[in-house]
Structure 1
Amino acid sequence: MFDGYCRQIMQPKRVMYNKSDLECGYPRQDFQLEGLQCSVYKCNKYTQSCILYLHGYNGSRLEGVQYAPYVCKVDFDFCSFDFQAAGQSEGEFVTFGLKEEENVALVMKYLKEKYFHIILWGRSMGASTALMYAQKNRNIKCLVLDSPFLVLEDVVLNLIKLKLHTPEIINKGLYELIRRCIVKLFQFQINKVQLPLNLNITCPMLLLASKQDNLIPQYHFDTIFKGYLGNKKIIALQSNHNEQRSTEIIKTIIAFTQSMTPQSRFSPTKYPERLLGDLDEQKYIATGIKIKQKIMRNQSISTHNKNSAKIQKDKALMQLSNLK
């Protein structure tokens, strides 16, 4: 029975979905990298920037579909993938960021051949994984971290507390039993999953944190924010750990990435190696027109003047100025 509980921790139930569930109204290219199932949503053929979304524990790339239209609308491409042992990717068990960091490195290598600017946006385990990757790599334009944890031990202790409502001294004893059981079953040390107090990361960072988070203690967010070396901003959420993010919060995240990333497009003749050459041009154009007609049906078409890009950027900067 105890072994079964440990297996549930290390092998959470996979999210089941069909490829049609990944549609969002923009052209999508699915691809595979060493057993990882990935998708990229294209806003146009020549954008320089891409947001790579990292899902949380017990999640999948389906988690990012709700964000893709917001991202593509402002001239970013959007990429998401299933971590190992999640969704439709291969893998036997999760490692809460240790091996997932290697998954990110693999996808980043693929994306760096196609984009100049890449933003990492992670949630929960995905946010902690983004920090682990950024500790060792300097090829990220900026980070968006939604509810990252600092030490996995605290998260497991909180899970025990939520499930059993037992005193702290009993919880610590149960944690030690779980740790030993996981070592026996998976040869994996959960106590090794922790981030340093001082994060050697210099790219800009936006942190989303909530005092109402029942899974991750507040000091995790405070410590991450204090120990972060680069420019940083924080959004104080008023929600629980797994609650859906509001449209307002999503737009604030997009505004942050816009303000940090140049949006001038490059010439396809000057940088041919940056194109997604595996997308057939005529098929891409036809698909784009078809999708655009579907989206714009029953909607009024407004004419944008030449200053629309500047106005959009100014709005983004105004939103960021209100962050506390």
Structure 2
Amino acid sequence: MALEVAKHIKSRFGHLFEDVCRFIIRPDRAAYTIDDLGPSLFRLGEGLPAKYKRTDLDLVNMRGMTIKCSWFEPYETPTTPIPCVVYLHGNCGCRWDGLEILWLLKHGFTLFVYDACGSGHSDGEFVSLGFYERQDLATVIEYLHTQSARVRSIGLWGRSMGAVTSIMYASKDDQSIQCLIGDSPFSSLKALSKDLVEQHGSWVPNSVVSAVVKRIRKRVSKMAGFDIYDLDCTKYARHCDVPAFLFHGENDTFVRPLHSLAVESVYRGSCLHKIVAGDHNSKRGNDVMETAVAFLKLYLIDKMEAVEHARAQRKQKASDQDDQKRRKQLDHADEDEAAASDEGSSNAASPTTTTITDGVTSTNDDDVTSTGASTDAHGELDGDDDEDEDEALDRLTRATMLSQEGGNRALTDNNENNKDISSSGARKGKSTLKKS
């Protein structure tokens, strides 16, 4: 009997590893067609005169992967550049999800959406919940900065994985974007993995949860080439000065509101946080959207006008100072020539040549991404590097059975979903993984 129980527990651990790892690096890939994005020429509502267009384009990230993108803009080219909002989808999403904020066009913004690599129609086998996705975002931002005739300012709007990606990117390059909006970011992938183990494996004893997370960490590193412990959004938030608006569904049981509250509590820059109605995947209410529009207008339009005005004043002041400097130099040169002439020297005074150069500040940009898993910051990925997964399953099984014996309780097929064998207390029912 004990042998059968051990086999059953070991099998359940194997399924738990598979489920959590699949959520992190290979959830169900969003399927859609280009037709699902709507017509390339359209109006927002019947009877409205304004026309808009969608332009589909491909970009290539630093890993040589193709990113499928779409840009929604006014049909008639504006006479001046206008602000652009970049939408970043969740781990099970795609650029089609960005259509939920297409109404931003009516407020004077353009909308840029794309499939992160590993999602939708873009290249890539795995997602990484932000680790590699920030490379894709860096490629998009770099492209938009080449479109200065069309783009006045840039804001980010990310959901779950996209929100974390936005914060990670903004912490390294706060000059290329003006603001960000984050819907339901998680505080760290380590904490989220622990939550997933507890939700999806309610039968796992508390004493074993950390060991399970370590095995998940090792498997993800081997399959997708990154360390889940490196995805700590709070660490990046501590260095982020880009103004942020974060919100979270009050009934979100997948990524709990405590995650985004933890991010907000350490955010270095200006950060507005709201708990809103709904769960992780709910459509957000009008109150949230009204706040978002006001936030975007403040930082992408109003403050940009103030910045541009101040910049023009500084430029004019510098120009006036340069003119004064040149006049003084000419006056000094005239005085020198006059003095030389009065002396009647046989050797003519050499004219003074002064080179005036504008100060140029060279900035060495921080690398916003890493191309592989880092082990230096955390040491070894696991204390049992020589232990294969089957041995690890045996070890976790023994620990679980010892926990059972300590509580004088045995797992059976009839009560495995409603009894908790944890020595530290019962935890409730098994949750299914939901889309981010």
TM-score category (smaller protein): 0.7 to 0.9
Query: In the TM superposition, what is the alpha-carbon distance from 1:224 to its structure 2 partner?
Result: 1.7
Q: Which amino acid is 1:171 matched to?
A: V
- The answer to whether the 8 Å contact 1:197/1:227 transfers is no
Which of these residues, 144, 156, 161, is aligned with residue 111 of structure 1? 144
1:1-324 equivalences under 5 Å are 2=15, 4-5=18-19, 6-7=21-22, 9-23=24-38, 25=42, 26-34=52-60, 35-43=66-74, 44-46=76-78, 47-68=81-102, 70-114=103-147, 115-137=151-173, 138-166=175-203, 167-195=205-233, 196=235, 199-262=238-301
Instruction: State how far apart, in whole Å, the 2-side matches of 1:49 and 1:40 are.
Output: 12
Question: What's the CA shift for 1:178?
Answer: 1.6
- Kindly tell me: are residues 31 and 220 of structure 1, through their superposed partners in 2, closer, same or farther at Cα, counting changes over 3 Å? same
Residues 184 and 246 in structure 2, CA contact (< 8 A), matched pair in contact too: yes
SS in 2 for 1:206: strand
Farther off after superposition, 75-84 or 250-259: 250-259
Change (3 A) 1:265 1:147: closer
Task: Give the Cα–Cα distance (whole angstroms) in 2 for the partners of residues 193 and 265 of structure 1.
Answer: 32
CA-to-aligned-CA distance 1:26-65 (integer Å, 9 cap, x gap): 3100000110000010035224210001111111001111
Which amino acid in 2 is paired with 1:121?
A: W
Instruction: Tell me the distance in 1 between the aligned counterparts of 2:184 and 2:54.
Output: 28
Q: Which residue of 1 aligns with 2:11?
A: none
Tell me if the contact between 2:115 and 2:121 (Cα under 8 Å) persists in the aligned partners. Answer: yes
* Shift of residue 4, structure 1, vs aligned partner: 4.4
Q: Is the 8 A contact 1:150 1:194 kept in 2?
A: yes
Deviation at 1:81, TM superposition (A): 0.3
Identity of aligned residues (%): 29
Q: Tell me the alpha carbon deviations over residues 132-178 of structure 1, each in whole angstroms, 9 at most, x when there is no partner.
A: 10011121111111111121011122222222223433433322222
Name the CA distance, whole Å, in 1 between partners of 2:295 and 2:304.
Answer: 19
SS at match of 1:262: helix
Shift of 1:251: 2.9
CA-to-aligned-CA distance 1:211-238 (integer Å, 9 cap, x gap): 4321224433223212222222222212
What TM-score does the superposition give when structure 1 sets the normalisation length? 0.75
Runs of at least 5 residues in structure 2 that lack an aligned partner in the other structure: 1-13, 43-51, 61-65, 306-436
CA distance, structure 1, for counterparts of residue 242 and residue 183 of structure 2: 16
Q: Counterpart of 2:100 in 1: which secondary structure? A: coil
What SS does the corresponding residue of 1:240 show, helix, strand or coil?
coil
Distance (whole Å) between structure 2 residues aligned to residue 205 and residue 9 of structure 1: 25
Please state whether the residue corresponding to 1:103 is helix, strand or coil.
Answer: helix
Distance 1:89 1:126 in 2: 16
3-state SS of the aligned residue for 2:142? helix
* Counterpart-to-counterpart distance in 2, 1:171 and 1:21: 42
Equivalent residue of 2:123, what SS? Answer: coil
**d(CA) in 1 for partners of 2:237 and 2:55?**
38
Code of the residue aligned with 1:124 in structure 2: it is: S
CA shift digits 1:118-143 (9 cap, x unpaired): 00111101000000100111211111
In structure 1, how many angstroms separate the alpha carbons of the residues matched to 2:38 and 2:165? 26
**Quick one: distance in 1 between partners of 2:196 and 2:126?**
18
Question: Retained in 1: the 8 A contact 2:168–2:236?
Answer: no
Q: Which residue of 1 aligns with 2:375?
A: none
Q: Which is further off, 247-256 or 45-54?
A: 247-256
Structure 2 counterpart of 1:183, which letter? S
Q: How much does 1:13 deviate?
A: 1.6
Structure 1 residue 11: Cα displacement: 1.4
Cα separation, partners in 2 of 1:173 and 1:256, compared to 1, 3 Å? same
Q: Normalising to structure 2: TM-score of the pair? A: 0.57
Aligned-partner residue type, residue 111 of structure 2: F
Q: Check 1:22–1:227 CA distance in 2 against 1; reply closer, same or farther (3 A cut).
A: same
| Higher Cα Rg, which structure | 2
Give how far 1:23 is off.
1.8
Alpha-carbon spacing, 1:76–1:263, altered in 2? closer, same or farther (3 Å): farther
Aligned to 2:349: none
Q: Is the 8 A contact 1:49 1:263 kept in 2?
A: no
**Residue 197 and residue 32 in structure 1: after superposition, are their counterparts in 2 closer, same or farther (change >3 A)?**
closer
SS in structure 2 opposite 1:15? coil
Q: Is the 8 A contact 2:246 2:273 kept in 1?
A: yes
> Partners in 2 of 1:142 and 1:265 — Cα distance?
11
Corresponding residue of 1:317: none
How many Å apart are 1:264 and its aligned residue?
11
Task: Tell me how far apart the structure 2 counterparts of residues 209 and 8 of structure 1 sit (CA, whole Å).
Answer: 20
